[in-house]
Amino acid sequence: MRARLDTSHLAPLTRAVVERVVHSAADLGYAADLVMDEDCLVKAHAALHAGAPVVTDVEMVAAGITRRETVCRLRDAESGPGLTRSAHAIRLAYEEVGPGALWVIGNAPTALEELLTLDTAPALVIGLPVGFVGAVESKQALRESGLPAVSNVSEKGGSAVASAALNALLYHPLTEENQ
Tell me if residue 146 falls in helix, strand or coil. Answer: coil
| DSSP string over 3-27 | TT---TTS-HHHHHHHHHHHHHHT-
Q: Is 172 a catalytic residue?
A: no
- Of 74, 37, 70, which Cα lies nearest the Cα of 167? 70
Q: Which amino acid is at 70?
A: T
Distance CA(170)–CA(158), nearest Å, equals: 19
Instruction: Map residue 38 onto helix, strand or coil.
Output: helix
| Cα–Cα nearest to 5, from 21, 24, 28, 26 | 28
Please, what is the angle between helix 159-171 and helix 38-49, to 10°? Answer: 70
Measured CA angle at 127 (ends 71, 62), to 5 deg = 30
- Considering 9, 23, 45, 88, which one is annotated as catalytic? 23
> Which residues have a catalytic role annotated?
23
